[in-house]
Structure 1
Amino acid sequence: MKKIALIGMILSVIILAGCGGSGDKLESSAEALYNGKPAPRDTVTPAEEGGYGFENIAEDLGYETYVLNPETDYPAFGDPRAKKGGTLTHISSRFPATMRIVGQNYNYEENISIIAPLCYESLLGLHPVTLEYVPALASHWKISDDKLTYWFRINPDARFSDGRPVTAEDVIATWDLHMDETILMPSSQLVYGKFERPEAEGKYIVKVKSKNLNWRNFLYFSGMNIMPAHYLRQVDGTEFLKRYQYTMVPGSGPYVIYPEDIINQESFTFTRRDNYWAAEDPMNKYVHNFDRVKIVVVKDNRSLMFEKFKKGECDFYPVYSAREWHEETDFESVQKGWVQKRKVFSNRPAGTSGFAFNMRKWPFNDRRIRYAFAYLYNREKMNEEMYYNEYDMMNSLYTGSVYENPNNEKITYNPEKAVQLLREAGFTKRNEDGWLVNDEGKVLRFEIAIQKSVDYMVTPVQQMLKDYGIDMQIKYMDGNAIWKNLMDRNFTIYMQSWGGLVFPNPETTLHSSLADKKNNNNISGFANERVDELLEEYDQCFDQKRRIEIIREIDGIYSDIHPAAWGIARRSMNILYWNKLGHPEFVFDRYNGDYTSIFRYWWYEPEKDTLLKEAMKNNTSLPKGELIVRYWDKYKNTDI
């Protein structure tokens, strides 16, 4: 069973390096490594140590679990219509720097969003709709009353692809690797250094203690992908990086990548395991349906990728450009239904975009000026004239998610309000050049540094402000220089674009202790005593419903202070795919909301493929299906 990929949040994770050695030699046969004969059923380990029968005593020991309800949980865990078989081909714009999912250069999208969830598993997963914890490698879990210590009971049926059982020692070995500085992944030591070294309390029971109280600690540890101690303990961190650069450490997930299926800089192919331990589990029965998933590389050439898709050389094509979507996706195959076209909306975190103000500096230390800027920023017009109305308007740090405060002011273009605020701030006159000046004769002028590539997004805003006497001067700079100035707080206004998290972590962005310090994410100098109180409660709150309430209150306070003029957010993923694939009604899952859902939920339809080939041969049409998919709209702004 797998966790849903939470884009960066439960850091992709896993493998262990370590120090010691078992003395056993590593397997050399690819078949033994990646599709080995499962170890016999363990009838020796007693229930008290996590063996069979543990489920009968789990409740008395304080453990909990989640039992899937077929009446309500499908299709969240897969569509019962799904079929097994076929090959899915995807074209990627790059080849990953490594096939590892931990250590130096691990943080490619291909590693985090494709390799990790297909080949490896964590102790627990997250329910794709409710975000409740659900079993994965661990069938049961327990949290101490003080919320500092966690126990996990590993399912004794769990097996790595080489057939070896997953045990508590594998969890410890994985943690050890993350703490090895020689894997050249400092963020790993930061995250997993919040725990004491895990302990085995039985063959299948592992215990870990947090050093400080924080609800995210359970999330991060339970989401750590587990790899076998048998391999990890025979290498240190440096050797691990070298040995597994383009060779896979066996995982417990549904797919493997055989060495011969890794063609450096060209392609790599996943093969569905014949010996996957959880294949018949209700949470896995209708997912991971393709026999093979092939990733073909076409480097940095979107036009060529699109042409290859249109020739049928890959099965789907995500469309990111609004212009491409509106001007280039009405070719013959789409018109005749051979290629299906979908605009899919989800609850994927939108992140934050727009213009961030440095509230430490004039003129944006004045709230009225910040609001005036926002009222003159006609993003609706830009969306209509430049982006084909492809975007929604942001009015929150958490646009479109359950964390968005519904009472935030919905900022729209309103020059009358802007002019009134400017007057209240003392800008009642214009000089001979037409710029607003205050009673001291100071021009309302400031500078924004941008890269040339985003000029088209900023010059319209410059003109909007100019029409009302505000002089925003554009300075073209290298991206690294812009970032350095931002971190040094040497800026007045910054064009921002930040990704979003399924579980927000506002402390690193909004805590008052960071407001006047350099090199952190509190770029606007935001400081608020009430927010600090809420942040402390948030970190120690294990009730998700209460955490939603906390973040909504924080969002409302932030919105009122208005450290940024929010921009626009893409709330959909646009995709083309050949009409031989089946998919759940929702198309993409609730929180990932992108093409990576295809690897988990979609399937190959032989009958549809036959109809497609006949239609193309006879030049006849197939049904097109509905363009717009809004399955998840009914879940918006509801408690989870």
Structure 2
Amino acid sequence: MKNVSFLKTILIGLGIISIAFLGCKKKSSDVSLDDKSGPSYQLSLWKTTDTPPGADQKVPDSLGGNGFEAIASSLGFTTYTNTEFDLKHSGDPRAVVGGHIRFTISRFPLSFRPFFYGQNSNFSENLQMTSLCYETLCSLNMEQEPSASLATHWKISPDNLIFTFRIDPNARFSSGLSVTSEDIVATFKLLMDETILSPSIQQIFSKFETPVALSKYIVQVKAKEFDCRAFKTFSNSLVVLSAKEISGLSGKEFLDKFQFNSPVGSGEYIVLAKDITKQQNYTLTRRDDYWAKDYPISKYAGNFDRISFFVTKDNPTLEYEKFKKGEVDKFWFTGNTTDKWIGDTTYPAIKNNWIKRDRVFTDGPVGSSGLFFNMRKPPFDDIRVRKAFFHLFDRASIISKLLFNEYVPIHSFYANTPYENVSNPEIEYNPELAATLLAEAGYTTKNNDGLLMKNGRPFRLELGIPKPLEKFLTPYQQTLRQAGIDLQIKFQDGNAITKNIAERNFNITWANYGGLDDPYPKTSIASELANKNDNNNITGFKNPYADELIKQYDITCSQKDKYAIIQKIDSVEASMVHCALAWTPKGIRVAYWDKFGIPEWVFSKTSQIGSHDLAIMSGWWYDKEKALAIEEAKKSNKVFEGNGKIREVYYWKNLKK
């Protein structure tokens, strides 16, 4: 999400993100924290059709109907079996359903469409809703390999070009309609309509021909060219919508119809229209009639009946105060609140051990954050200027003085992954070298105000930022001024910044991007996207060698070779200096009211800084006894046992499979 809070992840234009929680299943449980009169059990709020369970009796076994499982192998289909490792980490057996969890967010969603389904839908809010409300043909297991979701079986042709899927006959949309092959076909056609204004996703799916419905439950798609990632891309990226709802809609009509309401999905949660208050809050409701609630892989996942989000715009301090008062349940410490993480330990809730604090280390990618340069126009079309701006970025001083050494500088676009090129140069603060580079770029004189001049114009730029970022970029502004550059900081809200980035209406901008477990550089640096709006190549990156490496990457199947190719791409990106990379925290730092059950790993293996909330929504659960104990403790100011110290969680770092 293009987020106005400091160091929160934006997922704008990230291409295809492999969403580990797509396809989560729901357990049956006789133990519910709430009675069954709540919204989760009011099926009439979303269900319009009552389709009998199981397969359509008219469909023969050979075409995916009853009995298909017995003959699937003879037909060449793969039958996926979950590993013990996956099952163990899919949820905690202690989990129970029920309860409510509340989060703050710093902006209201620009749309309630699925992630990347049209303009203004490629942000973390959309990712969260998509992960819980929609499903793909396959999910990804702990090793980032395809596993069953809407599809129970699949077949890959020997040339790796034709993919055939058998859809689970039990799969149902929230409306009650069966999920069928026609839904996959209709969804694909919608995404390929250019008026949906999503060039990145069209770039991905343009490599496939239109899927063909071979039967009600069998669908086939053909890749236009060989790509080792093609099966995973199609099976894990096509978020399936209902043909009944979208057939015949143009992309523009889809955008107009679904902005502040959501299309029908097949996932466990739903966003009801009555639970959306524009610019203020929205809530996701668990559907107790979720079609796969007895499936083992997520038997203990998706436990909260209600998940609510309350908007607190551009004010991390206010978000924190709301958390301390118990108005929301969890708080994520970013750069703006690092001082609170370290020093705010005397308020009653934390002194009495009603609040817990964790620093969690995962194997999730760090992503990239920093100052991104628009290389399409002066002055940043000159690499010497870009290098100079990076050398004037005193990261070490900011980390030491303002971030209390809780952060480390980033030198790679693939940090904390095997794809990182550890040989990338560590660009350090060097104003003397910056001055030399600027002089080489033609900035050789200064006017009476001390500003560098070129072609009769003073070196003056504007940087739009959210207010919370001010204290971290004011030192940079001052350093630039000493070098003869007037950086005028303008405070803007997230919507304005997002619009300017999408329309390329900037010279320099601050952005934070989440990373990918399985990188897809084509969506962020491919030359073909450089001069198009509404995609994630925001800097206008063009490099023939990088384009060639991307082509090699797409047809490379060896994981070792894939690592090597991305490391080369990482090196090219670093050498182009299209971004002055900033910093990343040491672990994911959170605090929460102690009224939840939490698995020992806390977050999933690949949870990353800006999207770790998904692991909470999927894997934590409401503990009624703990919640009642806190309410009673508030009345008497009772102190709970414990020392209140920060717990450091290294589960994934220490895990030996």
**TM-score bin (small chain):** 0.7 to 0.9
Which residue is equivalent to 1:292?
306
- Contact 1:12–1:224 (8 Å) recurs in 2: no
Q: 1:420 to 1:111 in 2, by over 3 A?
A: closer
What is the aligned counterpart of 1:156 among 156, 169, 174?
Answer: 169
Whole-angstrom CA distance in 1 between matches of 2:388 and 2:273: 59
* Correspondence list, 1:129-140, <5 A: 129-140=142-153
Partner SS for 1:294: strand
Whole-angstrom CA distance in 2 between matches of 1:485 and 1:612: 45
**Does the alignment pair 1:310 with 2:359?**
no
What is the aligned counterpart of 1:197 among 189, 206, 210?
Answer: 210
Partner SS for 1:283: helix
**Does the alignment pair 1:541 with 2:556?**
yes
What is the aligned counterpart of 2:183 among 170, 192, 200?
Answer: 170
Which residue is equivalent to 1:26?
none
Q: 1:466 to 1:183 in 2, by over 3 A?
A: closer
Give how far 1:123 is off: 0.8
**Does the alignment pair 1:335 with 2:351?**
yes
Whole-angstrom CA distance in 2 between matches of 1:575 and 1:97: 26
- Contact 1:153–1:205 (8 Å) recurs in 2: yes
Whole-angstrom CA distance in 1 between matches of 2:387 and 2:120: 42
* Correspondence list, 1:83-94, <5 A: 83-94=96-107
- Contact 2:15–2:523 (8 Å) recurs in 1: no
Give how far 1:157 is off: 2.0
Q: 1:409 to 1:60 in 2, by over 3 A?
A: farther
- Contact 2:172–2:291 (8 Å) recurs in 1: yes
Partner SS for 2:78: coil
**Does the alignment pair 1:64 with 2:84?**
no
Show structure 2 runs of 5+ residues with no match: 1-9, 20-41
Give how far 1:242 is off: 6.0
- Contact 1:99–1:248 (8 Å) recurs in 2: yes
- Contact 1:12–1:101 (8 Å) recurs in 2: no
Whole-angstrom CA distance in 1 between matches of 2:113 and 2:621: 26
* Correspondence list, 1:249-264, <5 A: 249-263=263-277
- Contact 1:396–1:555 (8 Å) recurs in 2: yes
What is the aligned counterpart of 1:381 among 397, 408, 419?
Answer: 397
Q: 1:508 to 1:608 in 2, by over 3 A?
A: closer
Q: 1:544 to 1:625 in 2, by over 3 A?
A: farther
**Does the alignment pair 1:224 with 2:242?**
no
What is the aligned counterpart of 1:207 among 220, 223, 228?
Answer: 220
Which residue is equivalent to 2:22?
none
Give how far 1:384 is off: 0.8
- Contact 1:63–1:140 (8 Å) recurs in 2: yes
Which residue is equivalent to 1:41?
54
Which residue is equivalent to 1:573?
588
Give how far 1:398 is off: 1.5
Which residue is equivalent to 2:136?
122
Whole-angstrom CA distance in 2 between matches of 1:263 and 1:525: 39
Whole-angstrom CA distance in 2 between matches of 1:359 and 1:166: 45
Identity %, equivalent residues: 34
- After TM superposition, the structure 1 stretch with the greater mean CA deviation from structure 2, 93-102 or 338-347, is 93-102
Give how far 1:207 is off: 0.8
TM-score, normalised via structure 2 length: 0.76
Which residue is equivalent to 1:621?
639
Whole-angstrom CA distance in 1 between matches of 2:182 and 2:387: 56
Give how far 1:30 is off: 5.9
TM-score, normalised via structure 1 length: 0.77
Q: 1:382 to 1:158 in 2, by over 3 A?
A: same
Give how far 1:572 is off: 3.8
- Contact 2:354–2:593 (8 Å) recurs in 1: yes
Show structure 1 runs of 5+ residues with no match: 14-28
Amino acid at match of 1:597: A
Give how far 1:206 is off: 0.5
Give how far 1:349 is off: 3.4
- Contact 2:15–2:200 (8 Å) recurs in 1: no
Q: 1:332 to 1:511 in 2, by over 3 A?
A: same
Give how far 1:166 is off: 1.6
Which residue is equivalent to 1:10?
16
Whole-angstrom CA distance in 1 between matches of 2:79 and 2:474: 55
Q: 1:485 to 1:81 in 2, by over 3 A?
A: closer
Number of aligned residues:
603
Give how far 1:284 is off: 1.3
Q: Deviations over 1:401-443 (max 9, x none)?
A: 2211123344455789x59998x9999x999x9x9x9xxxx9x
Give how far 1:603 is off: 0.3
Amino acid at match of 1:406: V
Amino acid at match of 2:598: H
Give how far 1:191 is off: 4.5
What is the aligned counterpart of 1:610 among 612, 628, 643?
Answer: 628
What is the aligned counterpart of 2:616 among 554, 578, 598?
Answer: 598
Which residue is equivalent to 1:351?
368
What is the aligned counterpart of 1:82 among 95, 101, 111?
Answer: 95
Partner SS for 2:47: helix
Whole-angstrom CA distance in 2 between matches of 1:361 and 1:164: 54
- After TM superposition, the structure 1 stretch with the greater mean CA deviation from structure 2, 205-214 or 90-99, is 90-99
Whole-angstrom CA distance in 1 between matches of 2:480 and 2:394: 10
Q: Deviations over 1:335-371 (max 9, x none)?
A: 211112223333243214247596998999687x977
Q: 1:626 to 1:309 in 2, by over 3 A?
A: closer
Give how far 1:601 is off: 0.9
Whole-angstrom CA distance in 2 between matches of 1:54 and 1:234: 32
Whole-angstrom CA distance in 1 between matches of 2:162 and 2:501: 42
Which residue is equivalent to 2:415?
399
Q: 1:361 to 1:143 in 2, by over 3 A?
A: same
Whole-angstrom CA distance in 2 between matches of 1:546 and 1:78: 33
- Contact 2:407–2:584 (8 Å) recurs in 1: yes
Partner SS for 1:392: strand
Which residue is equivalent to 1:20?
none
Partner SS for 1:586: coil
Partner SS for 2:297: coil
Amino acid at match of 1:10: I
Give how far 1:246 is off: 5.3
